[in-house]
Structure 1
Amino acid sequence: MSLKKKLALIFSIIVTLILIFNNTLSYYYTRDLLIKDQEKQMELLAKEISIAIKHSEYGVDALENQIGEKLRIAAIAAKDELDPNINNVTNEQLMELSQKLGVSHITLMVREKDDIRGVKSSDPHERNLSMKDWGYWYTAFQQLFTDHNVTIPEGQKLPNYWSGPINVSASNPDHVDKWGYYYDGTTNYIISPYMRDNQIMDVEDEIGPNAIAKKSVSNNENLLSITGFNPKTFGLPPVYTEWNGTKVIELKNEAIQFGKHRYQDQKADVSAVRKAMKTGKLVSFQSTISDKKVFKSFIPVQSENPYVIGIVTDYKVIQDVLNKQLLNNLVISIVVLVFVLIISNLLARYIVRPINQILLEVNKIAKGNFGAQVFIKRRDELGLLSNQVNIMSSNLLNYTDELKKKNEEIQYHAYYDFLTGLSNLRFFHKTALELAESNEEKTMAFLFLDLDRFKFINDMLGHSAGDYILKAVTNRILPLLEEGEIMSRIGGDEFILLLPNSSREKADDIAKMILKELEKPFFYEGNELFMTSSIGISMYPIDSDKIDNVINNADMAMYRAKEQGRNNHQFYTPDMNDAIQRRAVLEKGMRQALERNEFTLFYQPKVDLNMGMITGNEALIRWFHPQLGPISPSEFIPLAEETGLIVSIGEWVLRTACKQNLEWQKSGLSQLSISINLSPRQFQQANLVEAVREVLNDTGLDPQYLELEITESIAMYNEDYVIDKLHALKDLGVKIAIDDFGTGYSSLSYLKRFPFHSLKIDQSFVRDIEIDSEDTKIINTIIAMAHNLKVNIIAEGVETDNQLKFLQQQKCNEVQGYLFSKPLSVEEFNRTFKQLQETALMKVSKWSSL
């Protein structure tokens, strides 16, 4: 196919696609407009119908009230005819009297203890009929006997008289029953005449909602049905009441108020009726019923008894308009395509000739003739293209020189890290192999360095802060190295150092120097950041004569350093392979521990030193591995932090502890609170506040009984972020405690700005109260500072009476520790609580009395 034909075909395809796209948009846009117009018309129709129904209701209500008044007249007439003592009235008298007064039946009702019964009646079904379970009817009877006046909202109320709403029999829906009840205190019974009347049904048939709906449908051939739905009962099974042995249902409780429910799509219709009434807005949708496509609209009507009008129209009205417009668009599109084919052929001829000339010269350039030039004198795009080809031909000569320089740059980036300028792992590995081959008899030290909690800085302050830290760490370590020693960045926050001709002692010294240098704070955009490192060291060829193995050994030693609390260095030992395997087993097991319910919570009580009362518990997680047995939290919590599993584990702890604390409160420990530790990884979650709110809502625990404990290390990163998060938690009503105070980066500045309620003195200070005067001074200072800040002060790790005595003398608020109780399971706490409380009260009282 020639280029000219190809261009003409391309133009035609493009225009065709544009026309298809335009016609599609036009189709759906028109359809939406037609549907909105249809909905508007249905809203207007529903409004007209509701107004007509409201007018018809006045006539029906007037007729019903007229019947009620007639029943009252009959009741008064019956009172004048009958003996005031029911014992002197016979059923036969009532039968004659009902015929005489023109009512269906007359019943006499008396009050018997906690029931009201129909004793005498012209209707055998109402004799000895109990009315105790008749709901508001029974209430009306009671009010008649007591006050001679009925105040319930249902029914017709006149002096000494009440007439209940009309009921429809389930067995015979072609007539209605209406009862009247009269009592003025002159008789010892209520007189109840009732009439079976079809007048209301006749009026309903003439001017009622059914007649209105039927007339509206007959006047519009596109209307298929109009139905009135009761949103309270539609979709639910009917509720009947037993009257005289017959099932009846009140008119106002019928699911279909008027019309017939044709074109049913039951589930969708029920949902639409309830949604319309709930939102107060029209709800519409398309549906296919028995192969007929219809459009349904449900419009809520607000009145004394709200209802929903459902209108079904034939979707063919909308579809016919859409089909007509689609046909018009197709005709127009065909005309446009014919025109485009003609124009595109003319344009192709004008474009192709100079393009062929340009292609001929471009082929010459492609073969290396960079000096070739195209000569086309045109002022359009092809003329511009020929000029660009000429420029390209000239520039290619210059690019060949630049490519040589680029190759050198690419070679550099293949071996060096673009951020720090350090060599990468590829270069490091290559250099290490060369040194190993050339220095076979000399030892080399490999230091594997990983920055502690680097991800926390990245998440809190962003990657720009992380990049700053990586470059700053590089700049601090490089001056510590001698000539020939290599530092490489091998990925993320991991570095590796190679010390040729190095002894174990020298590697130890370098590691200590690095750790000391990194302890100094880093300053980034006004924030004082602290960064530590974990370092693993392996010696070549002592630990292995293969470079890859030595690097892996250093990596394992680095993980051992992290397990030892971070900010330290460890030399590789063969047993670390077992530790790595154990770590892998623990990590795999921990991912399944929640599903297998292997975690459990223990609770250590906190004691108030003023009253000697147990005020709450600190929740402490325990893991019982099915094969390895109990796993220490000091072993699996750091691993959970590194893997990110601490988030799901922490949420489980929060939910379980809150639920358990609420159970204790329900059992009688109403003021008991619960304390839960938040890890740094949990705290940096964006949805932490929402997660805490959700747990409190789900468990029902009052927020004032939940205390979240955070460590001082959290305060190191982005104070504004931390303060905003703490304020959001405080706004929930949750209490905040600073845990292990005094062991981290204690700062009066963040204490002044942080919204917290409690300070917890670390147990390392409490442990040495009796032997180290410096620790007692520190505790005195912390307690005094807490009192000045007007926050609660708690001491952890209290194990002896002397420690308790000292803390009481310094006016510490609360304590916890083995002196009172070890961490307990739920069962142990429940079983020993009374004894624990007595012990706490005795010990606190003992020293407070001195």
Structure 2
Amino acid sequence: MQSIRNQILIYLMVGAIILFGLLFVFSDLKLNELPKHIKAQYSEIVNARSDEVAKELKGFIEQITIISKSPIIRSMDLEKIKSYLPNLVLKNKYRNMTIAYPDGRAWSTILDEFDISHQEQYQKIFVEEEECIISQPFYSPYVHESDKPIIIISHSVTDEKNRVIGLVNIVINNEFLNEVVRGMNLKGEAYGWIINKDGVLVAHPDSQGSLKKNIKDYIIDDSNIIDQILEEESGIIEYIDENGENILVFFNKIRESPDWTFLISISEKSIYKEINGVRNTILAAIIIGLILVIAFCFFYSRSLSKPILELKKVFERAANGDLNIRANEKIYNELGLAAKSFNKMLEKIKDLTYRDMVTELYNYNGFFLELPYKMKKLADKKIVTSIVIISIDDFKRINSIHGFDFGDGVLCDFARQLKNFLRGEEIVARFLGDEFILFLYEDDMLTIEERIRKLWNLCSGEVKINDNQFVMRVSIGASVSTDDSIAIEEIIHQATIAKLIVKKMGGNHYRFYDFELEELIKEEQKIENDLYHAIEKNEFKLVYQPIRELATGRNVGTEALIRWTNPLYSKVSPLVLIQIAEQNGLIIEIGRWVLKEACRQNKQWQKEGYSSVIVSVNVSAIQFEQTNFVEMVKEILEETELEPKYLELEITERIAMDRVEEKLLKMKELKSMGVRISIDDFGTGYSSLAYFTRFPIDTLKIDRSFINDMLNDENAKTIVTTIINMAKSIKIKTIAEGVETWEQLEYLKKKSCDQIQGYLISKPVDPHIIVEMFEEEILTN
């Protein structure tokens, strides 16, 4: 073993055999786990699709519920309904809507009067007294599109004594279910289906298929298997078909549906085909790799000192950052092969260093490496150059909805568009994540500005990739330069600032850098720095806006609102203050201060004899999502000795509708403590109507935008009236925000709104003014 050749040969051979053996064992173990993961993936697909259908059905039910409770529908005045119903028909979702009377007379938005007394919904609503039903798909006998199956969702119409006086329904084309089934991107010979409790097809890949066909006509000719699928909520069924092939069926009940089940059928051979292919490929690669390594060991052991030292020098230069170095490949031994492999590796490293592997564009390093050469070629020309940074708005949403593979496809397609936009010596690179950087040039300023406008139009608009269609929105920041003395880093910084401003303004636009933009950023940073020390400098104060009870005319509560008393920023809008605080995380500390100060002030009022006042405090989304939020509220109440029933937390509707189950749990914990819960800005989020009855809330605050428009806009008036009526039906108080005129006050009184808040009563005032209002009430009474 004194020979270096023999030492290298034996050590490398033994090491290679052990390494490749372990690699094979580890790979085989991991591959054996894949079937379980693949089954889980298909189960997730079925659950997701069934949830998608359930969500659609739930949305239809909510909408028809709201419509059935509207004053016009409940009047059952056909003339009014004829002018009202057509305005509610959304052509993309509904085919038509129908109103019917207990005697069977009906009127539709696409038909004149007809008789529905023989139809299913008439029997269910008027005879069996069900509140809402969803029909099975069927072919309409009334319209010329009778070859297209439809679904009817009906809801009873009741009078003030809860007696059924009619029904209203929406007619939906069954095609939306087929689109859900056909829209799945399933590998292999996999198909999606929706069936009812009898096994009859509700939706299927074959658009020409009949609704009367049974699932056993397609994939399962075994009643026991079908019964098992229909009896269980979800699961996986395995069986052998008539050809002797193992088949997997993944199924899940569809919530909100009459009796439907979503399922996917795929052969076991198809689902595991890729695994077997990967196993064979890995085995072949390991064997080939092992053979090559052993062969390499024989050749390499013949090489001694000189070639090794030369290669060592090459390695050292490469390690020091010289990626253009090349090893001598003409050495006719192992070192020659090693040199060749090293050079290939170095090329790969160079690509990894300067190229983006997803889009195959330059990366940021490559952009900086290539840019000087491009600019040198243009040095003798009188041109205007520009650095442009493009950011895809809300790209995370694309990834979360469609997956990262689809997101990579979007980036690749986007990169191809940008490459086609370039000319001459212009370059494009992937900057960071969903951002791209371009170097452009033109003869004059106007032309470069027009070019960037065209670039924004090119990047924005509808995009269709793999049958998925969505709207692409981008934010573009550009910095234009005619001065070669400005460092490229500074130009990129300017373009970045312009892009950030576009983002702050809502995105989906483009903007050129100017000095005012940078000053704006600096000013915002200064505000942020001063805001950081605002609490310790005692620069915050709370003002309070009274909340008046309409029935008694008494001020029963106040809303605490923050103000910044810093002399430099006294005019900064509270909304801007909150936005900056949320961006830098200060909202947690500020929110705690506001809550504690409001509780302290309310306790002080109680000590002065005003014991029935409720103080409302707004809670930001970031603050409410803190894991210790409930504990913090409890700690502040104990510290200020304020009874929980005198504190009301205002949570915006959008906060409540994000991760509903998590928010519902927190609300219940707060409610169990005795704290009151209020939903602020109610009515701005339509989906909340499905959930608000589950929330343990005391008050709904009707958004000021509806109050402002309700006397001039029938839709706003209907929304206000509907919210008040629904709140009363479940014994929740309503507060109208932003009341500014006597006419608004009188209308709200007429509709029995419980409380109001706005400039008509008082603007937000200091605590001592609130005390004066309380004393004036005492004297008046």
After TM superposition, the score normalised by the length of structure 1 is 0.45
After TM superposition, the score normalised by the length of structure 2 is 0.48
